[in-house]
Amino acid sequence: MANFMLPFSIFFASIFTSNILLTNYLGMCSFLSVSKELKTSLGLGAAVVFVMATTTPLNWAVYQWLLIPFGLEYLRFIVFIIVIAAFVQLTEMALERYSEGLYQSLGIFLPLITVNCAILGASLFMVIREYSLITSFFFGFGSGLGWMLAIVAMAGIRTKLKTAKVPPGLEGPGITLVIAGFMAMAFMGFSGMIAVS
Amino acid sequence: MFTTLLISIAIINLISVFLALIMVIADATIGNYGVCSITVNAGAREFEVLGGQTLLRALNQEGIFIPSACGGRGSCGLCKVKVLEGGGEYLPTELPFIDDEERKQLVRLSCQVKVKTNVAVEIPEELFSVKEFTTTVEKIRDLTHDIKEVTLRLEDPNEISIKAGQYIQFVVPEYGDIDEEVYRAYSVASPPGDASHVELEIRLVPGGICTSYVHEHLKEGDEVTINGPYGDFFLRETDAPIIFIAGGSGMAPIKSILLDMQKQQNPRKAMYFFGARSKRDLFLLDEMKALEESIPNFTFVPALSEPLAEDNWGGEVGLITEVVGRMVEEASSSEAYLCGSPGMIDACIEVLGKLGVAEDRIFYDKF
């Protein structure tokens, strides 16, 4: 039973208690630069969810079935990066061909997240924590959703912030980092609920 | 030891080769749109292009030049054509530029539409007369600290037929960090009477691709490619009194129109308000004075918004809209021709509206 429930608890844990952005500070650069507007952060968030949920199990397969048998675990960084890059490129081409609308809303973000460290981070965590294939999928999916939740929440706050009085020295990235800190603290409130391991 | 080395290299290569293979296959299948045919104006022209590129680029390659001031980034909204077949759905990037009426007529932004199947388009007849010209830079001179006048001599074809006030597109070649050709639109300042030359007035915009190229790289004797003419900013043939308003390099099309009026000894009453910040932003004052004398009914009114103490300025002071409001009492029978920044033009339209100029008699060129 516990085994059966594990993927689900990891799914929720990766959204709330160990949010990849707010507890591990991964994927900060696009989080800070693209969170100005709600609509674009939703687009980027959706792209991250999709890419994380697919590349994490993909990398799991490459790692378990290719790298481990040949004792090449130390090559995982370079391999994960190429797999992610190729997959993102492929998705972009498919979107452009078959779904013009989706390409317009997600397409421009896809090249951007090839180098999003949260994506690589999810693949590396899944190795360190020795997840199974199914757990990896739920972990990647959940981490993506968690990242999206954080950036959308931040975009909402920053929309309000446009009319707020911010001390001159804190304008722009300064106040955004301060808010990210508050958000991280707020998310710590979830930490008693479930844990990833 | 040696074998583990070989194995690791082999595995990495295997992964890379496999992924590369997938990419190549994807490019040949998903990314390959094959050859598509484009039909222009119900068969007036028909040609085949490689699919996957934008409609604007495909038409350009075949010598049909659709005006596009922004060079295909979807920010100017000029490259509209009717796509009757094969255009697909409207994209979010097009919608800000297309109104309901245009939507019914299937008007699209050709820089956003990708050619993926056979396409049928309808293009205004006059765009067929748009040509590409090879030119040589004959002269470059400074008009002000940030505006240069560039005179191009046409080589091939060696004559252009334009209406005073129209514009051309300047093709900026690859230079420095700019790794592809870009197009920028500039009004022609020379009169249509001189068919073998094109004169442009180009203001330096910090960071502007074309303006930096012209100000920092272009030398006399260089070869420049332009295409044109485009635009409907030309003098309407009526007897109505004319109000010209321009700022900065907005001088160019007005100057062309004035020189044309001079040649034809046009008797219409005309006033030209030219706005600048301080004296160092004013130019061509002598030429304008000469035109005041040689055009029967023409007055030139330069105005400074922030004259400096050392300018010793005795002329009009204030924003150009204030000066127009002050000097023109009633203008319900007038036509107005405006050229300048969007902010200036919007402000002028408001002032002219108050003076009684009907909206359909206000013509403008925003840049």
Which chain A residue has the Cα nearest residue B15? A79
Cβ–Cβ gap B30/A75 under 8 Å: no
The answer to whether residue B25 sits within a structural domain is no
What pLDDT, on the 0 to 100 scale, is given for residue B116? Answer: 87
Residue B30: list chain A partners with CB under 8 A.
Answer: 93-94, 97
Separation in Å, CA of A86 to nearest CA in chain B: 7
Domain total in chain A: 1
Instruction: Determine the Cα angle at B163 with ends B159 and B164, to 5°.
Output: 110
**One domain, residues B253 and B361:** yes
Cβ–Cβ gap B15/A93 under 8 Å: no
**One domain, residues B219 and B197:** yes
**One domain, residues B177 and B194:** yes
Interface residues on A facing B, Cβ-Cβ cutoff 8 A: 62, 66-67, 70-72, 75, 78-79, 82-83, 86, 89-90, 93-94, 96-97, 100-101, 104-105
Low-confidence ranges of chain B (pLDDT < 50): none
Residue B88: list chain A partners with CB under 8 A.
Answer: 100
The answer to whether residue B164 sits within a structural domain is yes
Partner residue facing A70 (CB), from B11, B19, B22? B11
The answer to whether residue B6 sits within a structural domain is no
ipTM of the complex: 0.75
**One domain, residues B198 and B160:** yes
Could you read off the pLDDT of A20-41 as tens digits, one per residue? Answer: 888 888 988 888 888 888 888 8
Could you read off the pLDDT of A80-117 as tens digits, one per residue? Answer: 999 999 988 888 888 888 777 777 777 667 777 877 88
What does DSSP assign to residue B359? G
pLDDT at A195 over 70: no
Cβ–Cβ gap A94/B92 under 8 Å: no
Of B262, B325, B322, the closest CA to residue B297 belongs to B262
**One domain, residues B218 and B296:** no
AA identity, residue B76: C
Q: What are the strands, taking DSSP E only, across chain B?
A: 35-40, 45-50, 80-85, 107-109, 119-122, 131-142, 147-156, 167-172, 182-187, 197-203, 223-230, 242-247, 270-276, 298-304, 316-317, 335-340, 362-366
Cβ–Cβ gap A90/B26 under 8 Å: yes
Partner residue facing A75 (CB), from B12, B23, B27? B12
What pLDDT, on the 0 to 100 scale, is given for residue B153? Answer: 93
Cβ–Cβ gap B12/A79 under 8 Å: yes
Cβ–Cβ gap B30/A82 under 8 Å: no
**One domain, residues B226 and B263:** no
Domain total in chain B: 3
Question: Of B185, B205, B230, which residue constitutes the final position of a domain?
Answer: B230
Full domain range(s) for residue B271: 242-366
**One domain, residues B41 and B101:** yes
Work out the percent of chain A whose per-residue pLDDT is above 70.
94
Partner residue facing B92 (CB), from A72, A78, A104? A104
Size of interface A-B (CB pairs under 8 A): 53
AA identity, residue B64: I
Length of chain B: 367
What pLDDT, on the 0 to 100 scale, is given for residue B63? Answer: 80
What pLDDT, on the 0 to 100 scale, is given for residue A2? Answer: 54
Q: What is the CATH number of the domain that holds B328?
A: 3.40.50.80
Q: What is the CATH number of the domain that holds B101?
A: 3.10.20.30
pTM, full prediction? 0.57
Cβ–Cβ gap A82/B19 under 8 Å: yes
Partner residue facing A82 (CB), from B4, B16, B91? B16
Residue A78: list chain B partners with CB under 8 A.
Answer: 12
What pLDDT, on the 0 to 100 scale, is given for residue B152? Answer: 93
Place A197 in a pLDDT band, splitting at 50, 70 and 90.
low
Average pLDDT over residues A32-55: 87
**One domain, residues B339 and B307:** yes
Could you read off the pLDDT of A62-76 as tens digits, one per residue? Answer: 999 989 998 888 888
pLDDT at A53 over 90: yes
What pLDDT, on the 0 to 100 scale, is given for residue A1? Answer: 44
Q: Which residue bears the tokens 């739920």? A: A138
Question: Of B126, B143, B158, which residue constitutes the final position of a domain?
Answer: B126
Average pLDDT over residues A124-145: 92
What pLDDT, on the 0 to 100 scale, is given for residue A196? Answer: 60
What pLDDT, on the 0 to 100 scale, is given for residue A54? Answer: 93
**One domain, residues B264 and B216:** no
CA atoms of B364 and B236, how far apart (whole Å): 12
Question: Of B126, B151, B184, which residue constitutes the final position of a domain?
Answer: B126
What pLDDT, on the 0 to 100 scale, is given for residue B193? Answer: 86
